[in-house]
Amino acid sequence: MKILLPPSETKREGGTGAALRLGALALPALLARREAVLDALIALAEDRVEAQRVLKLSDRQAGDIQHNRMLRTAPTMPAVDRYTGVLFDALDAQRLDASARRWLGQHVLIHSAPFGPIGALDAIPAYRLAAGTALPGIPPLRRHWADATGLALADERFVLDLRSEAYVALGPIPASTPSAYVRVVTDTGRALNHFNKKAKGELVRALAETRPRARSAAGLVGWASEQGIRLRPALEPWVLELVVDE
């Protein structure tokens, strides 16, 4: 099973790891696409005013342009530790034991805009790039990533998709690949935005702590029932509903 997470706009600064090694990231078939995005981001960072406009940064956020300028030389840290925000705070990967973290590294991919899907323990620098950004010098990110990412995921046995719609568009899972998309809802089936990220982070933490051998949506639902987690099939055959209290 592979679990796809969205990234977060907010990230921890710094890191103690060596500089980025694109060839060492998960899904190495995406290397050429990654190189193209990094080259475009670094080139854009040379023009501060244009970078601020393209990346839609406020004056307070303009310091993030320096992160992009230093993408190939800045210190790194594991992706799951780099990202912050509601989902990653709920996952709280830094407090997981070594076995749980290894499980994250084997089963979790975080879908970033500059690198595509990367392993949870892949070492990355801080950066600034959103899914909807139009970078000068390369096609729109949706066109740049979608087909290549779909091919890279095509051989997975089962994919649990916890991404937002913007990142699903950057890498739709092929119809031939068994998968399930998770929607967070109330008992009545009403979709929730406020608790969406927190519930997904808690779900992934529970998976890492228990490390089930689920290889299908049905197996995942069975595991969730044993854990007291309300996960149920939706009307759409490819959707699972994660039920939370309002």
Q: Are strands 116-119 and 2-5 parallel, antiparallel or unpaired?
A: unpaired
Query: To the nearest whole percent, how much of the chain has pLDDT over 70?
Result: 99
Condensed to tens digits (0 to 9), the pLDDT of residues 43-92 reads 999 999 999 999 999 999 998 999 999 999 999 999 999 999 999 999 99
Domain that holds residue 65: 2-243
Residue 229 CA to residue 220 CA, distance in Å, equals 10
Condensed to tens digits (0 to 9), the pLDDT of residues 142-192 reads 999 999 999 999 999 999 999 999 999 999 999 999 999 999 998 877 776
AA identity, residue 68: N
Contact 75, 20 (CB under 8 A): no
Read off the pTM. 0.96
Helix runs in the chain, H state only? 31-45, 48-54, 64-69, 79-82, 86-91, 98-107, 141-153, 165-169, 196-210, 217-227
The CA distances from residue 101 to 18, 107, 152, 208, 220, in Å, are: 20, 10, 23, 7, 20
Condensed to tens digits (0 to 9), the pLDDT of residues 15-30 reads 999 999 999 999 999 9
What does the pLDDT average to over 95-119? Answer: 98
What does the pLDDT average to over 235-242? Answer: 94
How would residue 245 be classed by pLDDT, with cut points 50, 70 and 90?
A: confident
Q: Are strands 123-124 and 77-78 parallel, antiparallel or unpaired?
A: antiparallel
85: left (phi over 0), alpha (psi -120 to 50) or beta: left
63: left (phi over 0), alpha (psi -120 to 50) or beta: alpha
pLDDT at position 71 is 98
Number of domains observed in the structure of the chain: 1
Condensed to tens digits (0 to 9), the pLDDT of residues 123-149 reads 999 999 999 999 999 999 999 999 999
Q: Which residue has the tokens 């990653």?
A: 88
Residue 168 CA to residue 88 CA, distance in Å, equals 18
AA identity, residue 117: P
pLDDT at position 194 is 67
